[in-house]
Structure 1
Amino acid sequence: MNLGRAGSALLALTLSLGLAGCEVTNDVGGSTVSGSDSKAKAYSGQSATKVLDTLSVKGRSANTGYDRDQFGTAWKDVDHNGCDTRNDILKRDLTGEKFRDGTKECVVVSGTLEDRYTGETIKFTKEKASLVQIDHLVALQNAWVTGASQWTEEKRTELANDPLNLMAADGSSNSSKGAGDAATWLPPNKAFRCDYVARQIAVKAKYGNWVTKGEKSAMSGVLEGCPDQKVPTAKDAESSAGADSSSGDAGSDNGGDVETPGAFCSDEGAKAEDSDGDTLTCSVKGDDDRARWRSAN
């Protein structure tokens, strides 16, 4: 078929626009998702400040059309392990968990949370479940107005259930945060703020969300106090919502590097220090059969 010069140019432009609008997808964990996993690997362990500088800076888009259901049913079993995401995160973040009989260690009915947002210890029970909530570090409504309104439902569902973006937290703190970004809300526990904004940066870099001018300014202000802060690795997200990502993978014998009490580790007997200079030991204790950084006292 002879399209002629004008027809060929029009066809080339059409194909170009069509390809630009396509989203390359990969089959990960049984669900079709965007190429966000490869982005996460590319940024993993890099300087949080440098990764922040790669994010686009724009104003918020309209909140029109936002609904929690746009991010999939809460909570789904996206990894097909027989447990929904909420219970996966409770199991990951609590210590001394007990499970409902007959649920194959799935439904968490009690446990203890060393809360990162407040620095307090919270006893979780199903009867008082609101005391511990699962927070989206990048709130779903914030994600909506910084790019997610243009995503597929599959990609939004991936974000809503991504361990990197989820953390068991004090219920009242989570409620006060609402849909706020770093410009409007930061954890009351100042010792956790560097890790908090690094996690938000990692999530936004992974999924391609942008930041507002005020949000970037607030994040940069926090990171000025921890210039060596790194964005977390995928391993950090899988093992602990509160792992201190500034010193690499938790569990190595860091010889004095800063770690967060309660964060998971792998080499029992390894030594580290917390942000106050107190010695921590990687150990198993009591009903908690997982190794964590614990105070020597």
Structure 2
Amino acid sequence: MINAVLRGLTAAALAVLPLTVVTPAHAAETMLLTEAVARLPVATESRDGYDRNKFRHWNSGDAPADGCNTRAEVLLHEAVAPPAVGPGCRLTGGSWFSYYDNTVVTSASGLDIDHMVPLAESWDSGASAWTAQRREAYANDQGAEQSLVAVTARSNRSKADQDPAQWLPPAADAHCRYVGEWVGTKLRWGLAVDDAELAALEGVASGCPGQTVTYDPAP
């Protein structure tokens, strides 16, 4: 009935009908790092009640047929030379580039999967108020490349749960990228920064005039 009415209208009549545009619920944004830093909410952080077990991770979320959990999926995605995948998603061979310390790694066992914004830091910055399901989604986030990154175990353990006011990658030429990915992750998940963290981010961003940040708000 409605289609028949529309077919009977002239183009001029259609032109005055209200136009409904369907847009995605989430749209990726790209901006300069300095602008992205300015968008971060500032709040006092608290680690009260934190427990790493409140972030179920490396579970992949869906029991894939290939047996690969989140850790393995990130390794497969970031491999420079792809490893062979055996039964139970056992990875052999392959190579990876750890951009934190400009190091090539040729064994998956030498790599950690780093949460760009560590689980403890995310708790401090707003995740303490999330549901268990949202914390699980955060801990296994494969929807944005910067959320999880394969790096040397040495560099990841040096970083631990520190923010950029306390730790930056040992490779100086990685600082702009790292801070861009840190900021993008915080914006994606609506996480806050404290005053010291903000000052550190602003300091690095001022030396990265061409660095951009792209983020897609988490569902």
Query: More displaced, 139-148 or 89-98?
Result: 89-98
Q: Does 1:49 pair with 2:34?
A: yes
The TM-score, its normalising length taken from structure 2, stands at 0.79
Partner residue of 1:112 out of 74, 79, 95: 95
- SS of the equivalent of 1:204 reads helix
- Determine if the alignment matches structure 1 residue 76 to structure 2 residue 46: no
User: Is residue 222 of structure 1 aligned with residue 207 of structure 2?
Assistant: no
Q: Deviations over 1:143-163 (max 9, x none)?
A: 001110001111111111113
Unpaired runs of at least 5, structure 2:
1-24
For the pair 1:65 / 2:44, whether they are aligned, the reply is no
CA contact (8 A) 1:97 1:109 kept: no
Moved more, 136-145 or 48-57: 48-57
Q: Is the 8 A contact 2:96 2:104 kept in 1?
A: yes
SS of residue matched to 2:96: strand
Matches within 5 A, 1:199-238: 199-232=181-214
Identity of aligned residues (%): 33
- The residue identity in structure 1 corresponding to 2:49 is G
Taking the aligned partners of 1:135 and 1:50, their CA distance within structure 2 comes to 25
Q: Which amino acid aligns with 1:146?
A: S
Report what 1:193 is aligned to.
175
**Aligned residues of 1:97 and 1:108 also touching (Cα < 8 A):** no
Secondary structure of 1:45 counterpart = strand
Would you say how many aligned residue pairs link Structure 1 and Structure 2? 187
Gaps of 5+ in 1: 1-36, 235-297
C-alpha displacement of 1:97: 2.7
| CA–CA separation in structure 2 for the residues paired with 1:119 and 1:143 | 26
| Structure with the bigger percentage of strand | 1
Work out the CA distance in 1 between the residues paired with 2:177 and 2:62: 25
SS of residue paired to 1:143: helix
Return the offset for 1:80: 5.6
What is the TM-score with the length of structure 1 in the denominator? 0.59
- The 3 A distance-change label for structure 1 pair 54 and 79 is farther
- Corresponding residue SS for 2:35: helix
Hey, what's the Cα distance between the residues in 2 that align with 1:50 and 1:96?
Answer: 35
Task: Name the counterpart of 2:118.
Answer: 139
**One of 72, 78, 85 as aligned partner of 2:70:** 85
Structure 2 residue identity aligned to 1:92: H
- Cα distance in structure 2, aligned partners of 1:192 and 1:204: 18
For the 8 Å contact 2:84–2:94, the answer to whether it is kept is: no
RMSD of aligned Cα (Å): 1.8
| Higher RCO (Cα < 8 Å, 6 or more apart) | 2
Look up the SS of the partner of 1:232 in the other structure.
strand
CA contact (8 A) 1:132 1:171 kept: yes
Runs of 4+ in 1 over 3 A off after TM superposition: 79-82
CA distance in 2, matches of 1:90, 1:115: 11
Look up the equivalent residue of 1:102 and give its one-letter code. Answer: P
